[in-house]
Structure 1
């Protein structure tokens, strides 16, 4: 149970509703910032504006999966209020106050560094990323079906990267009958691709490897699908970029060439917000329990 723990949930989409539901069931005291347009309420959770919060009583701050933008603004789907997580606010919190976010950026990194607060990035955890790859894969299948006029079975698909998402994407599309080739740099990854029964290629050979593909699925958050690469793709190729914004594709050139390129980060929150939210909620409840047990919560 999280009785006595004061938690500020700041912004987010439908996934955060599962987090709120889980934490209220565990008896945490929640302040909901950026939820004033939310129709239903939760017992034990109070909707407030950010300037109404007594941050000196807050044990934990839960941000949306994307965290903040580079100006500190937190995305609020359920409010028109602009919510900014600032150094001034964070300095008011107790020294044990921990910030939880899906991912981070330079703003958030600098903010926790300057205020000497702890930041936990949920999507750096293997368990969260692996569980989250399931709705990501399902969303990717949906997009490929919607935006192509051929079956996945028999199509040629290039997957860039063999991380936790790339591995799940490659395996699933292969199981649907696609001819899957996977690009990676690490020799161990190339060996694993071979072991999986797929076709490996070194990422440096990407220009040659895209000449015969129907779909390119990128999971690497750096510019790999360049103009040169796109110019070698067949005109009908679909690019689905799953990397975090701004992705790893030259979208301007793809549009100029007439190749459909879709940036699709955050697919779990779009295609399966309930399941994706439950994944985050379960891990957060465990982490907040550890925060309380460690004697850092307000109930200690």
Structure 2
């Protein structure tokens, strides 16, 4: 991991299979030119390119930390794609998403994690809670766990609701120093008893150089989709500095999570 340099493949979307009527990005199952199926997430959906940016950052941070994450790829959508789509809503979405989108390898046969049926040990629960505190992921609740069981192993999916500071505006520095209040609703918080041990371990992994390698994956066209962004590189550095600051002050969100957990157990 010393020379960590993540890379994402690029595929071409060849067939729209079926919509998934869930999630803010209105995803769909689609086939690509490598003959694999993917969960395709569109930049023309409600949250726009920012949801895709959060998906890459959150997903690749999780992968770096050792979690099981389906492969993330860039997915090109041709202007001619979807012209024969009979559903007007889907056709509008496809037209608005021509160009570079994001897709996640489809885990065929996976089942949704159920906290009543599936068990997670305190160490893994603490690891997931720590990650979600770092990236301010509001979408890992009992109602929507965004975890799958595939081949008897736990996989994390869907980090598009993370990094919500980029939707709210304001000072990113201030946001980076805030505790994560929504952690109280995290499905795994009651079992996350090893947060302090995980904090030291994960901070050693997430060095500034590795953060830079992840934000370098972000395409210019997604970053420049926001008219308030001065330049693609300046926006990349905001994401990098936000994460660096949050990691450096992780005691803020770790202490808040521990306090929230005490109120539950």
Question: TM-score w.r.t. structure 1 length?
Answer: 0.21
Between 1 and 2, higher relative CO (CA 8 Å, sep ≥ 6) is seen in: 2
Q: Which protein is bigger by CA-based radius of gyration?
A: 1
